[in-house]
Amino acid sequence: MRKRRRRVRVLVYVGLLPFVLFAVLPFYWMAVTSVKTDAETYDLRAVPFVIRHGVTWAHYAFLVQQTPFLLWYRNTVIVSLLATLGSATVAVLAAYSIVRIRFPGSDPVALGTFLTYLVPPTLLFVPLSEVVGRLHLIDSYWALVLTYPTFIVPLCTWLLIGYFRSIPTELEDSALVDGATRLGALVRIVLPVAVPGVLTTVLLGFTLSWGNLIYPLAFTASTPQKVLTVGLLTELVRGDVFYWGSLMAGALLASVPVVVAYSFFTSYFVSGWTAGATKG
Amino acid sequence: MRVVTRRDLLRYAGAAAASFVVRSSEAAGAPTVTMLYWNHFVPSFIPLLNRQVEQWARSRGVNARVDYISLPDMPARLAAEAQARTGHDIIQLSQWNAQLFRQELLPVDDVVADLDKQWGPFREPGRYLSFAEGHWYAVPWHFWSDTATINTSYWRQIGYATDNVAALGWEELAAAGARLRDAGHPVGVAVSQTGDANDGLYPLLWSFGGRTVDERGEVVIDSRETADSIEFVKTKLFPVMPREVLGWNDASNNQEMLSGVISWTPNPPSIWAVAHLRSLPIERDLDQVPMPRGPKGRFRSAYGVGLGIWRFSPRAQLAKDLVRYLLAKPQSDQQVEASLGYNEPFLAQCAANPFWKRLPVFRYYEPPKETVRVPGWPGPASKGAALTYNLFTLPLMYAKAVTGQMTTSQAIKWAEGELKKAYGKG
Amino acid sequence: MGPHVRVPAPALGAAVAAVPAGRLRRAEARLGYMMVAPAVVLLALLIAYPFLMSLYMSLTDQHVGTPGRFVGLANFGYLLRDDVFRQTALNSILYTVVAVAAKTVLGIVLALLLYAVPWGGRFIRAVILLPWVIPTALSTLAWWWMYTPPYSVVNWLLVHGGVVRGPVPWLSDPLWARVAIILVNVWRGLPFYAITILAGLVAIPRELFEAAEADGAGPGVQFWAIILPLLRPILSIVVLYSVVFTIADFEIVFILTRGGPLNMTHLFSTLAFQVGLVSTYIGRGAAITLFIFPVLAVASFLILRIVRAGEEYA
């Protein structure tokens, strides 16, 4: 019996191995390319996975010193944080009121929120550029702070609706009976309990903001206004010349905050997901 | 021999980082003239442009700034600015964009006249791209064009010196291509949905006497000459090329050349420039030769860059002044150097620059031996040409024929249908 | 993307019982409106309005920089007769169906493996999530590089691993190009499927498994009789959301193939970008994207039905 269980365990790891390799291979390749010399990268006789002719930091140096990479980093952080926090606030308020207050019309509003989530950005960005233009936000990353909520708010609201529904009302009810206001109940009672769910939505919003390409493509042009995705693409692919080493270096560096955030919050993420999934 | 050294580049590049972020702070409260240009791949060009713009700004007591965007993103950017009626004062108008955005552009006849008088005349295809319905909508600045980059060591192996290669016609190229393929280093021109494919195949078509449209924009692709060119590619050229050319993107031929895979490919000078800038060993084997002759001429495809001013720009006069400044010979000479000879000025006197004589690899680039034209010529340089180019109608025609998806006449008929739709004739 | 499926849950108590009466209720309703207002205003201004604008644009012959004339359904008629568009529609459906099917199957397999992992599960899950976490626009560039001849790492592996004799023309052959983009889509989306399905697995009460084992049911039977049926709601939701987002995919195709070779990988959104912005036919570009709409409508209808059906059990 124990032998069979051990064999099953081994099989599970063996089964997972291809998945893990599949997931990780591109990142390993990114890392290797980012420190390989151009001469070796372009040398077809070399083995791609190893570095024989020395590690070079030239690609990173080029990226950091000779492109506004750090500036884009800053912009991306600002945009993502603001858009996410703003969206999360809006979403929390909206979801809570839809679920708990149940004012007349809350159902159509919930439905409307859901439907807006399904409108893809590639449909919206041309007319949106006109809206952005009228607000005189064109070519500013504030345009992104304004437009990113278009995909964060619907998603987060919908998730939080499901999540709030899963939280029993007894806690708030007793607080309300004791004279607390709805908002007070939300802030002091519900939110602390809802941390996993809210954190999940914040994390999702952050990831989506961090990696968005189309809106920055449409709404920003000046180099100092760019965020990471569009900056790397536009400054390291010029005409028919690819700066592969720096591109891979930039892609890796740009991925760090998201990975870090996930590593800290994975447990929250999974439990929040679970709750939203099973009780929503 | 003053070639841009690595140290120069580092110096330029160091200034680049600063100039990206610094806005001229002296004239606070003064207007800021903004310009949109593409992210030039030669690192030394951008800081030079920034410097020139800043010098101009200081001399006028205003602010000025250049923003850089990747070439493929340019259309979307222009579209967004035209739609929103706000954006940069001066914009790079490449190829047909001057005529496409005509209604939102300020006529610049005065600037063109001034420059023509001082440094002119403007070479073709400057006027072709920028002049329509009685007015100039862009000032033709510079272009780059596709010669053929070759690997001289592979050609030497089959007994050709560079100047021999320079004299080849298409048929001879294909014949040599067979030998090169057998030696393991084939020739390659993109037959895919990418700019390189357009830029390599239009000159081929033209040199066989084929045309997509005539001067009035009537679709004339269905011709004996077109069929001849297709037959040539199908039976002689494509068989000696790697099949991957059907899926090449613009960087593919660069990389295959830089890695020593192919021996001949039409391309602007970016291949050599990268080898030079990155000190790749293959640099010493690279050279550039004219595009091959066809039965009805020798052509080269060009990519023209003009500067335009939005009609809704509140700083039109200043913008015009900056344009005049940038195109003047002293600035133009610096630009040629800093772009490693990549930018060929439209103004004839600016094109008389000894730079291209100094570097042997450029002796066939400037002045061009072929007739330099833009895809869509001789039809009007507007919507139909742009649409045809962006939908890769011509490369698709060849691809359909060479892969056997269609017969030659079917492919021509298909292209004819697409062209008619593009030019609004059906 | 958000699975809020109602599996039989404990009763939620007096949710409705504490309805305040009269004036208190109106005051609460007012508060409710105020709390929901920011979301509604944002979505109206930035989604509903532009969407309607897009609808209008699709009925005009608008080009960039020029006002359009109303042309009714001319754009749609043109598209339905256009070879490239028809090929694109076929591509989009093929891409979506195959990618979603692959992600579903592999997602279940991976979820089961993750469920059964005795040690190191958290770490492995974190690693598995990487493709989904990294911005697609950047990871896709890595894949482009991985596919590019003559440097293709994928080919190097396949050739040196003895799987193929010669390099695979990943991006230049219509069939392989489609495989290539689907592969990247699966690589990117699989973690999401797996983690979500895993959440569903975790929610299945252990008692069911124990009872089944006591009855002598093997793993196969347990899978088909217990797991799959109970996963059905979550699976349906994930699949439907995935369909919506896969069919509107843009970045992967744009970066890898730009729609080629021979228009064999164009999706609605890449074609719309090409036609609407690159070729400046905004009206027609808008019309192309609107073809996604029936899929959205059907998918949203189905999602809602499943969610509502789940609600009835609650």
Contact state of C35 with A101 under an 8 Å Cβ cutoff: yes
Contact state of C151 with B83 under an 8 Å Cβ cutoff: no
Does position C17 have pLDDT exceeding 50, yes or no?
no
Q: At A269, is the pLDDT very low, low, confident or very high (cuts 50, 70, 90)? A: low
Domains held by chain A: number: 2
pLDDT for position A266: 64
Q: At A162, is the pLDDT very low, low, confident or very high (cuts 50, 70, 90)? A: confident
pLDDT for position C2: 39
Q: Any residues with CB less than 8 A from the CB of C238 and at least 6 apart, and which?
A: C3, C104, C107, C192, C193, C196, C197
Task: Give percent above pLDDT 70 in chain C.
Answer: 88
Residue of C nearest to B81 (CA): C65
All partners of chain A with 3 or more CB pairs under 8 angstroms = B, C
Q: Please state the rounded mean pLDDT for residues A150-154.
A: 89
What's the CA gap between B67 and B81, in Å, rounded? 14
Domain span including residue A198: 67-279
Q: Are C141 and C255 in contact (CB under 8 A)?
A: yes
Contact state of A138 with B76 under an 8 Å Cβ cutoff: no
- Tell me the CATH number at A160: 1.10.3720.10
What pairs with residue B305 in β-bridges?
B94, B142
Domain span including residue C244: 77-313
Q: Measured between CB atoms, does C65 come within 8 Å of chain B?
A: yes
What's the CA gap between B219 and C85, in Å, rounded? 22
pLDDT for position B18: 43
> Which site among A14, A99, A119 would you substitute to test the C interface, given the most C Cβ atoms closer than 10 Å to its Cβ?
A119
Contact state of C248 with A255 under an 8 Å Cβ cutoff: no
Q: Let me know whether A211 and A98 are in one domain.
A: yes
Q: Measured between CB atoms, does C115 come within 8 Å of chain A?
A: no
> Does residue A202 sit within a domain?
yes
Q: How many angstroms separate the CA of residue A90 from the nearest CA in chain C?
A: 6
A114 or A20, higher pLDDT: A20
Per residue in A178-235, pLDDT (tens digit) is 877 777 777 888 888 888 888 888 888 898 899 888 888 778 766 778 899 888 877 7
pLDDT for position B8: 42
**Which of chain B's residues have a Cβ under 8 Å away from the Cβ of A234?**
39, 68-70, 73
> What element of type H or E holds C260?
none
> Does residue C58 sit within a domain?
no
**Which of chain C's residues have a Cβ under 8 Å away from the Cβ of B246?**
169, 172-173, 261-262
What's the CA gap between C62 and A79, in Å, rounded? 32
Q: Measured between CB atoms, does C163 come within 8 Å of chain B?
A: no
Contact state of B383 with C261 under an 8 Å Cβ cutoff: no
Q: Let me know whether A153 and A202 are in one domain.
A: yes
Q: Please state the rounded mean pLDDT for residues A74-80.
A: 95
What's the CA gap between A10 and B337, in Å, rounded? 64
Per residue in C227-280, pLDDT (tens digit) is 888 888 888 888 988 888 888 888 899 888 878 777 789 999 888 888 876 677
Q: Please state the rounded mean pLDDT for residues A262-274.
A: 62
Q: How many angstroms separate the CA of residue C176 from the nearest CA in chain B?
A: 11
> Does pTM top 0.95 for this prediction?
no
> Does residue C185 sit within a domain?
yes
Q: How many angstroms separate the CA of residue A52 from the nearest CA in chain C?
A: 16
pLDDT for position C22: 65
Predicted confidence pLDDT, tens digits, chain B (426 residues)? 334 344 444 444 444 444 443 444 444 678 999 999 988 888 889 999 999 999 999 999 999 999 887 787 788 788 878 887 888 999 999 999 999 999 999 999 999 999 999 998 999 899 999 999 999 999 999 999 999 999 999 999 999 999 999 999 999 999 999 999 999 999 999 998 889 999 999 999 999 999 999 999 999 999 999 999 999 999 999 999 998 898 788 888 999 999 999 999 999 999 999 999 888 999 999 999 999 999 999 999 999 999 999 999 999 999 999 999 999 999 999 999 999 999 999 999 999 999 999 999 999 999 999 999 999 999 999 889 998 998 899 999 999 999 999 999 999 999 999 999 999 875
Q: Tally helices (H) and strands (E) across chain A.
A: 15, 2
What fold characterizes domain B147-301+368-422?
A: D-Maltodextrin-Binding Protein; domain 2 (3.40.190)
Does position A18 have pLDDT exceeding 60, yes or no?
yes
pLDDT for position B340: 93
Residue of A nearest to B283 (CA): A39
ipTM over 0.90: no
**Closest by Cβ to B399, choosing from C63, C262, C279:** C262
What's the CA gap between A207 and A262, in Å, rounded? 9
Q: Let me know whether A74 and A52 are in one domain.
A: no
Return the CA Rg of chain B.
Answer: 22
- Specify the CATH class of B6-145+303-362 in words: alpha beta
Q: Are C289 and C54 in contact (CB under 8 A)?
A: yes
Contact state of C129 with A251 under an 8 Å Cβ cutoff: no
pLDDT for position A273: 53
Q: Measured between CB atoms, does C300 come within 8 Å of chain B?
A: no
Q: Let me know whether A244 and A216 are in one domain.
A: yes
Q: How many angstroms separate the CA of residue C163 from the nearest CA in chain A?
A: 16
> Does residue A62 sit within a domain?
no
Q: Let me know whether A77 and A119 are in one domain.
A: yes
Q: How many angstroms separate the CA of residue B416 from the nearest CA in chain C?
A: 14
pLDDT for position C16: 37
CB atoms under 10 Å from CB of C308, counted, come to 10
Q: Measured between CB atoms, does B23 come within 8 Å of chain C?
A: no
Q: Let me know whether A159 and A105 are in one domain.
A: yes
C173 or A129, higher pLDDT: C173
- Tell me which of A37, A56, A75 is where a domain ends: A56
Domains held by chain C: number: 1
Count of positions (residues) in chain B: 426
Residue of C nearest to B246 (CA): C172
CA of residue B360 relative to chain centroid, distance: 21
> Does residue C67 sit within a domain?
no
**Which of chain A's residues have a Cβ under 8 Å away from the Cβ of B254?**
240-241
Which region among B94-108, C9-23, C113-127, C139-153 has the lowest average model confidence (pLDDT)? C9-23
Q: Let me know whether A128 and A195 are in one domain.
A: yes
Does position A238 have pLDDT exceeding 50, yes or no?
yes
- Tell me the CATH number at C177: 1.10.3720.10
HEC string of B336-400 equals HHHCCCCCEECEHHHHCCCHHHHCHHHCCCCCCCCEEECEEEECCCCHHHHHHHHCCHHHHHHHH
Which region among A56-60, A168-172, B296-300 has the lowest average model confidence (pLDDT)? A168-172
All CATH 3.40.190.10 domain ranges in chain B, comma separated: 6-145+303-362, 147-301+368-422
B248 or A83, higher pLDDT: A83
What phi and psi values does residue B4 have, to the nearest 5 degrees? -65, 120
The three-class DSSP label of residue C95 is: helix
pLDDT for position C250: 87
**Closest by Cβ to A16, choosing from C4, C15, C117:** C117
Q: At C7, is the pLDDT very low, low, confident or very high (cuts 50, 70, 90)? A: very low
What pairs with residue A255 in β-bridges?
none
**Closest by Cβ to B39, choosing from A43, A139, A238:** A238
Q: Measured between CB atoms, does C11 come within 8 Å of chain A?
A: no
**Which of chain C's residues have a Cβ under 8 Å away from the Cβ of B261?**
150
What's the CA gap between B325 and B115, in Å, rounded? 10
Q: Please state the rounded mean pLDDT for residues A110-132.
A: 76
Q: Let me know whether A136 and A199 are in one domain.
A: yes
Q: Let me know whether A95 and A220 are in one domain.
A: yes
Residue of C nearest to B80 (CA): C64
pLDDT for position A159: 82
> Does residue C203 sit within a domain?
yes
| A123, HSE (Cβ side, Cα atoms, 13 Å) | 31
What's the CA gap between A141 and A135, in Å, rounded? 13
**Closest by Cβ to B259, choosing from A44, A67, A222:** A44
> Does residue C105 sit within a domain?
yes
Q: Are B286 and B151 in contact (CB under 8 A)?
A: yes
